[in-house]
Amino acid sequence: MKNPFKFGTLVDNQYFTDRIEELEQINRILNSPNHLILISPRRFGKSSLVKKAVTESKHPYISINMQQVTCIEDLASLLLKGVFRLHPWEKIKHLLANFRVMPTVSITPLGDNMEIGFQTASNISALLEDALSLVEKVSDEDNRIIVIFDEFQEFIEIEKDIDKKMRSIIQEQSKVNYIFLGSEESMMSDIFERKKSPFYHFGQLMRLKKIPYNDFHKYVNDRIKDVVTDNHDKLTEEILSFTSCHPYYTQQLAATIWDNAYYKKIKSEDLLTTSINQIIQSHDLDFERIWMSFNNTDKKIVRILSKEEKPYENKMLPTSTVYSSIRKMMKKGFLIKEDKYEVEDPFFRKWICERIP
């Protein structure tokens, strides 16, 4: 038997659950001339969801992780590579003749890999425009290319006014759908919801939530009952209560429990505690390092939240201090907010409760 839980990489098929409404909504957008903006904290399942929606739509697509982009030349090169993956090089190479910054293309003898570079571009706007226009040129009204920009907020940082330039180019296009993904809530909101931003209301905005309890319960329970014969319902409840239905941490804990039950034959009543402790132990150094990087206010707030108390009700901390510390820690991903503020990582939360007096 194989562990039926998967965490850390994109999930699909038997590892993917729910998101039915979200898939329908994305599908509607991809079959319209509109663009999609998808925001959620880290590891909620943005990339998996979009990959599944785009694959099911059967549209050609180009996916670019903006964390790999440090300058416009990088972006242009990744766009071109994406285009050449969709269309044979011979058929469209003539379109490169119009490029104002000439690309250098090298192909391995077997044709299985391609490198595209640009001389350091003096005309950055022209390069961006030519690369994005190439995508539009090779796209087809009836089979529109989808361009996915993952971690889009990173892109804004690479150059001043780059958002203005990009927006002015892609707003003229009519044959490409763009999907912007981002995990930095505050920056993504700033890009797409601030009135003065060039990308203000540029597409339909979706905020991805955790996976609903009932669905995740069924998913975990159906898989765990193969290896836990008694009380698997209760164990599933305890898993979800510990992880608060966070997609990644739920899969991680369930995978560890499954291994402990199947390979180590740990008794069912010990499975939860043993597995949680194992995971905490494996991250001990990391948690210690993160904890040491916090200032005193951050530490106080994270401790309060770990105990599920409310930091704004703490008389010792001025509201403005609490606010700016929470903002900073949300930006770094240590805290998230759904109905209330919470420590993002349930294992770190437990580590704090146990180690910090």
**Which residues contact Mg ion by CB under 5 A?**
47
Residues 243-272 interacting with ligand ATP (rule: CB under 6 A): 247-248, 251
Sign of the torsion angle spanned by Cα atoms 319, 320, 323, 326 = negative
Taking the chain, what is the end-to-end CA distance rounded to the nearest angstrom? 42
By C-beta, is 247 or 346 nearer to ligand ATP? 247
Q: C-beta of 261: minimal distance to ligand ATP in Å?
A: 19
The answer to whether residues 206 and 30 touch, using CB atoms and an 8 Å cutoff, is no
Q: Is 152 in the site for ligand ATP (CB under 6 A)?
A: no
Q: Is 7 in the site for ligand ATP (CB under 6 A)?
A: yes
Q: C-beta of 88: minimal distance to ligand ATP in Å?
A: 31
Which residue of 4, 17, 62, 329 would you call a contact of ligand ATP, by CB under 6 A? 17
Q: Is 48 in the site for ligand ATP (CB under 6 A)?
A: yes
Q: Which residue is nearest to ligand ATP (CB)?
A: 45
By C-beta, is 47 or 325 nearer to Mg ion? 47
Structure tokens at 316: 């010792």
Sign of the torsion angle spanned by Cα atoms 266, 271, 277, 280 = positive
Q: Is 16 in the site for ligand ATP (CB under 6 A)?
A: yes
Taking the C-alpha atoms of residue 229 and residue 232, their distance in angstroms, rounded to an integer, is 7
Q: Is 8 in the site for ligand ATP (CB under 6 A)?
A: yes
Strands 335-337 and 61-65: unpaired
Q: Is 43 in the site for ligand ATP (CB under 6 A)?
A: yes
Q: C-beta of 62: minimal distance to Mg ion in Å?
A: 16
Q: Which residue from 287, 289, 296, 261 is spatially nearest to 275, judged by alpha carbons?
A: 261
Which residue of 1, 2, 9, 122 would you call a contact of ligand ATP, by CB under 6 A? 9
Q: What is the DSSP string of 193-262?
A: HSTTSTTTT-SEEEE-----HHHHHHHHHHHHTTT--SSHHHHHHHHHHHHTT-HHHHHHHHHHHHHHHH
By C-beta, is 91 or 218 nearer to ligand ATP? 218
The answer to whether residues 175 and 144 touch, using CB atoms and an 8 Å cutoff, is yes
Question: Which part of the chain contacts ligand ATP (CB under 6 A), choosing from 39-47, 55-63, 85-93, 258-266?
Answer: 39-47
Q: C-beta of 289: minimal distance to ligand ATP in Å?
A: 19
| Residues within the interface to ligand ATP (CB under 6 A) | 6-11, 16-19, 40, 42-48, 183, 247-248, 251
